[in-house]
């Protein structure tokens, strides 16, 4: 039988001429690449690159074909494609290539050979390639910037290979499991600097090309093709001081902006050293380069040894950037450095487990930030922010599981979403808390060491953590981490936990079903999903919110069905004492209590000792109550009774949670005649905290900057008179400045509020003034802020002009910022309809503008549909989608999500808005 199977395998392997599968065959394993690339940036009209690659292949199964990746943009000369057998003495003998074919569906380049490649032998594949740089920001592409001194345009090149764009730069085995070492050599004009993953070994003049150099780099460690990185540029650099790690840090940027990299150069080595201590594994490369790229589609990319960033993600100017900008830079750097272990040292086997990279980097970044920058309270606040995103984005039918099947290249990009990043981080935090810190760190160390320089899937992680949990007694021997965590990674959504107290018998009944924004619609009466849920709880009489470990587990039976739970309350849990579950928001679920328990909670919140309830749980109670009212599980009288307490709340997290949900109501109600009622309600809530935080006054010892910014944004948006007047005054002072590009009297931490409020009130001259400041601004964070503020105008013709400028190829707005600027218009008071109409009427132009980058195009669609709530607009959306075949090429999940969001808004407006307005009207006499 084994011989028969082996024979069938050989036949299948030999007959791959028309190979049609989304994964590469497993017959060959690349071991090493020798890659040489010449970069031609001198021809401004059509820059290009050329090169050659030699791939050392080990044969794992006999095969008569070689299948690897090469995108259609790569021009390959089959006459210069050669294969050699490598003899043990180092000599080579050539093997004839019979024919070559290309498979554009999967970007395959398939070589049919004249003889079978033998198992265990080593072969060398040599190929030459050529391509023009294209206009996008993937693969190997060209970027540019305007030199401030000479006013000339300067050019550079850089790579962005994740998830599957290395194949657009050179022929390769472009899957994460095909790890290999790389020797990279770059040919370039002498006036440029060449960078790659490893340090430079030597440079020497290029024969036959005057003023050209070859730059040769050290051999890399084993890594997948998507982490390969190289750049040719004329940048300046800053070398960091030693951060207790042996790695040398250098930060690169255009010369006029290198001063904005000082903070990045200072914080990065400290973060790396912290991770080395945390994981108890040294960073294995001799250097880390950080490269700020003018045109970059992602926020940043963790390429091993050469991390690339969008400029706004790396630049911080103390004289112009806000404290929030500084925190953002630190957070992004912390995320990318965490990848050096999660993703680079240990890589997922396939893209379905991308969350092992991104979820861990997102969570671990909060630990690094908390350790080095404790004043920002990053661990708690980032954790809350992640949970808010998850509870909102994961509550639709169109959502997906964290780990899911990925079977085509177009699905790779779909994985880079909040489910991968945010939900991944949230469930890792949950696991960290239920197994404990010692177990968590020990398990991660074992996982990283077991799979170093190799690949892993989530089962490998569960195995290492279970071993540690059983060793340290963190879990019972009969319970595996995998049993718990698979329920969170292999199915979509999250649970609604319902709690019913029997106050006479002192019994608490706990049940679960899936939470959906649609509420009881679509036959959601019976939930088929089940999760292993860690249940922690406390009562008003003891109010212990620090014991976050699970006291009980809500479990699933062997068929995966929910097992309701009954627990006896402790004697101290009297019937006049509230019960709260999920201490410090340990896990991503919502909780609905019986009416009596809600009333007990509200009574405490409205009293003087409301701080007995932990800050994160005050935030939790707000978001749960409002979300449950949104989908009809809880009447708005209860949720508005609860949120009324916030008038005495000074902490940031409850306010952040409340306004996060109220923004969804704002988007819809501002389109109705009931907006004035909502505005009065909101101003009544906001007035006390606005005064407490000092309003629009600046303070040398300013309290929480993000909190002050958030409250002021809402106060000005809702036309709180003091906020608007002071914002306009700040802006007017700037307008009359003798040199507004050098002297800006608007306080740095209030600029996002002032710019938007001033343009909301201002005329066309005010808008033009800010547009000129955008063109002259040299600080990346300021340019980003201005782009958003320009969308705040209430002048229709100006907003319409701005829309055209955003998508104009000759505009100074870079493509990477299109979504940012478009979203600002959509969110403005007049902009939603304009943006929606522009998207529909110019869809053909937009598809061309995005150069088949349908993921970004779908993101614009989703930004628009978040504001749809009328039957007319919903019908128009459906008709538009149904009539455009190009939507079939879009990220299908994004399109389904867009329809889902619009439909949920429509249902809420029809069913819950009337109830909300009745409650608001009944209370309107109390508003000041």
Q: Quick check: 659 and 714 in contact, CB under 8 A?
A: yes
Instruction: Answer yes or no: is 34 a known binding residue.
Output: no
The answer to whether 471 is a known catalytic residue is no
Name the CA dihedral angle for 740, 746, 748, 749, rounded to a multiple of 10 degrees.
-150
Residue 260's Cβ-side half-sphere holds a number of Cα atoms within 13 Å equal to: 27
Determine which helix (DSSP H) or strand (DSSP E) holds 7, and give its type and residue range.
Answer: helix 2-14
Among residues 175, 276, 311, 336, which one is catalytic?
336
Which residues share a beta bridge with 233?
A: 193
**Alpha-carbon distance values, 117 to 60, 63, 100, 128, 621 (Å):** 10, 5, 16, 22, 65
- Let me know how long the chain is: 928
Question: Which residues, including other chains, have CB under 8 Å from residue 393's CB and lie 6 or more apart?
Answer: 399, 417, 418, 419, 422
Instruction: Answer yes or no: is 303 a known binding residue.
Output: yes
Q: Quick check: 696 and 750 in contact, CB under 8 A?
A: yes
**Alpha-carbon distance values, 647 to 509, 600, 609, 650, 658 (Å):** 33, 19, 14, 8, 12
Instruction: Answer yes or no: is 424 a known binding residue.
Output: no
CB-neighbour burial class of residue 926 (10 A; exposed 0-12, middle 13-18, buried 19+): exposed
Instruction: Name the region of 719 (left: φ>0; alpha: ψ -120 to 50; beta: rest).
Output: left
Instruction: Answer yes or no: is 301 a known binding residue.
Output: yes
Instruction: Answer yes or no: is 855 a known binding residue.
Output: yes
Task: Supply the Cα-derived Rg of the chain in whole angstroms.
Answer: 29
Q: Which of 134, 132, 140, 130 is nearest to 293 (CA)?
A: 140
Instruction: Answer yes or no: is 223 a known binding residue.
Output: no
Instruction: Answer yes or no: is 696 a known binding residue.
Output: no
Q: Quick check: 234 and 191 in contact, CB under 8 A?
A: yes
d(CA 726, CA 746) in angstroms, rounded, equals 11
DSSP 536-582: -EEETTT---S--S-SEEEEE-TTS-EE-EEEEPPTT--TTS-EEES
Question: Which residues, including other chains, have CB under 8 Å from residue 110's CB and lie 6 or more apart?
Answer: 16, 17, 19, 65, 66, 67, 100, 101, 102, 103
Catalytic residues: 336
Q: Which residues are annotated as a binding site?
A: 162, 299-303, 335, 339, 358, 855
Q: Cite the annotated binding site for substrate by residue number.
A: 162, 299-303, 855
């Amino acid at each position: 039988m084994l011989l028969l199977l082996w024979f069938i395998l050989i036949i299948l392997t030999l007959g791959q001429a028309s190979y049609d599968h989304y994964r590469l065959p497993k017959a060959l394993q690349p071991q090493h690449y020798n890659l040489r690339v010449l970069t031609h940036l001198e021809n401004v009209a059509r820059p290009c690159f050329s090169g050659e690659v030699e791939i050392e292949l080990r044969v794992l199964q006999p095969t008569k074909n070689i299948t690897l990746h090469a995108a259609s943009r790569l021009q390959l000369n089959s006459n210069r494609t050669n294969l050699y057998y490598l003899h043990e003495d180092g000599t080579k003998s050539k093997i004839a290539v019979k024919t070559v074919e290309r498979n554009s569906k999967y970007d395959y380049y398939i070589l049919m050979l004249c003889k079978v490649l033998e198992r265990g032998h080593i072969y060398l594949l040599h190929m030459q390639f050529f391509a023009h740089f294209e206009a996008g920001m993937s693969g190997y592409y060209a970027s540019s910037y305007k030199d401030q001194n000479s006013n000339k345009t300067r050019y550079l090149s850089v790579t962005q290979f994740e998830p599957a764009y290395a194949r657009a730069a050179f022929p390769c085995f472009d899957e994460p499991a095909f790890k290999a070492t790389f020797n990279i050599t770059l040919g370039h004009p002498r006036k440029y600097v060449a960078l790659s993953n490893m340090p430079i070994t030597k440079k020497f003049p290029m024969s036959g090309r005057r003023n050209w150099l070859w730059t040769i780099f050290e051999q890399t460690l084993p890594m997948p093709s998507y982490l390969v990185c190289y750049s040719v540029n004329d940048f300046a650099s800053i070398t960091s001081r030693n951060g207790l790690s042996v790695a040398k840090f250098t930060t690169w940027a255009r010369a006029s902006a290198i001063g904005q990299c000082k903070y990045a150069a200072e914080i990065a080595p400290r973060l790396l050293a912290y991770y080395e201590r945390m994981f108890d594994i040294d960073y294995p490369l001799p250097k880390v380069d950080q490269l700020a790229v003018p045109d970059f589609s992602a926020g940043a990319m963790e390429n091993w040894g050469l991390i690339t960033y969008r400029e706004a993600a790396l630049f911080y100017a103390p004289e112009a950037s806000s404290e929030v900008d500084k925190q953002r830079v630190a957070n992004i750097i912390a995320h990318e450095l965490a990848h050096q272990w999660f993703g680079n040292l240990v890589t997922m086997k396939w893209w379905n487990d991308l969350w092992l990279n991104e979820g861990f980097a997102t969570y671990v970044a909060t630990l690094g930030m908390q350790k080095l920058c404790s004043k920002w309270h990053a661990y708690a606040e980032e954790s809350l922010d992640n949970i808010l995103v998850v509870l909102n984005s994961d509550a639709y039918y169109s959502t997906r599981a964290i780990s899911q099947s990925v079977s085509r290249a177009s699905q790779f990009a779909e994985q880079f979403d909040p489910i991968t990043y945010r939900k991944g981080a949230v469930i890792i935090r949950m696991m960290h808390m239920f197994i404990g810190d010692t177990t968590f760190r020990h398990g991660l160390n074992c996982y990283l060491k077991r799979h170093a320089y190799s690949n892993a899937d989530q089962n490998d992680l569960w195995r290492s953590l279970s071993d540690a949990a059983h060793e340290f007694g963190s879990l019972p021997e009969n319970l595996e981490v995998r049993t718990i965590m698979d329920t969170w990674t292999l199915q979509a959504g999250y649970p609604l936990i319902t709690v019913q107290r029997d106050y006479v018998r002192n019994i608490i009944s706990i049940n679960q079903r899936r939470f959906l924004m649609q509420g009881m619609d679509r036959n959601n009466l019976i939930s088929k999903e089940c999760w292993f849920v860690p249940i922690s709880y406390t009562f008003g009489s003891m109010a212990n919110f620090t014991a976050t470990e699970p006291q009980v587990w809500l479990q699933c039976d062997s068929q995966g069905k929910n097992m309701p739970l009954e627990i006896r309350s402790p004697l101290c849990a009297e019937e006049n004492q509230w019960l709260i579950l999920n201490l410090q928001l340990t896990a991503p679920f919502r909780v609905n209590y019986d009416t009596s328990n809600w009333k007990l909670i509200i009574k405490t919140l409205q009293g003087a000792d409301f701080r007995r309830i932990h800050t994160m749980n005050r935030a939790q109670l707000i978001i749960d109550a409002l979300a449950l009212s949104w989908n009809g599980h809880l009447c708005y009288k209860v949720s508005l009774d609860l949120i009324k307490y916030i008038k005495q709340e000074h902490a940031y997290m409850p306010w952040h949670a409340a306004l996060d949900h109220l923004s969804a109501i704002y988007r819809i109600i501002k389109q109705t005649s009931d907006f004035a009622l909502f505005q009065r309600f909101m101003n009544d809530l906001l007035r006390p905290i606005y005064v407490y935080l000092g309003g629009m006054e600046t303070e040398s010892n300013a309290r929480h900057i993000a909190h002050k910014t958030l409250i002021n944004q809402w106060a000005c948006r809702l036309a709180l008179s003091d906020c608007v007047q002071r914002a306009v005054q700040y802006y007017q002072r700037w307008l009359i400045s003798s040199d507004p590009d050098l002297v800006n009297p608007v306080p740095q931490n209030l600029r996002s509020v002032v710019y938007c409020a001033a343009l909301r009130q201002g005329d066309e001259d005010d808008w033009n003034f800010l547009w000129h400041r955008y063109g002259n601004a040299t600080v990346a964070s300021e340019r980003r802020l201005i782009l958003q503020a320009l969308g705040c105008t209430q002048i229709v013709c100006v907003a319409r002009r701005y829309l055209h400028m955003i998508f104009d190829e000759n505009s100074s707005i870079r493509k990477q910022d299109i979504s940012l600027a478009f979203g600002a218009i959509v969110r403005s008071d007049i902009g939603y309809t304009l943006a929606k109409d522009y998207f529909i009427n110019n869809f053909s132009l937009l598809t061309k503008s995005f150069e088949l980058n349908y993921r970004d195009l779908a993101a614009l669609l989703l930004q628009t549909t978040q504001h749809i709530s009328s039957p007319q607009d919903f019908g128009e959306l459906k008709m538009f989608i149904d009539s455009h075949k190009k939507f079939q090429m879009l990220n299908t999940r994004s399109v389904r999500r867009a329809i889902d969001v619009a439909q949920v808004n429509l249902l809420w407006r029809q069913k819950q808005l009337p109830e909300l307005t009745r409650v608001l009207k009944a209370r309107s006499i109390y508003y000041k």
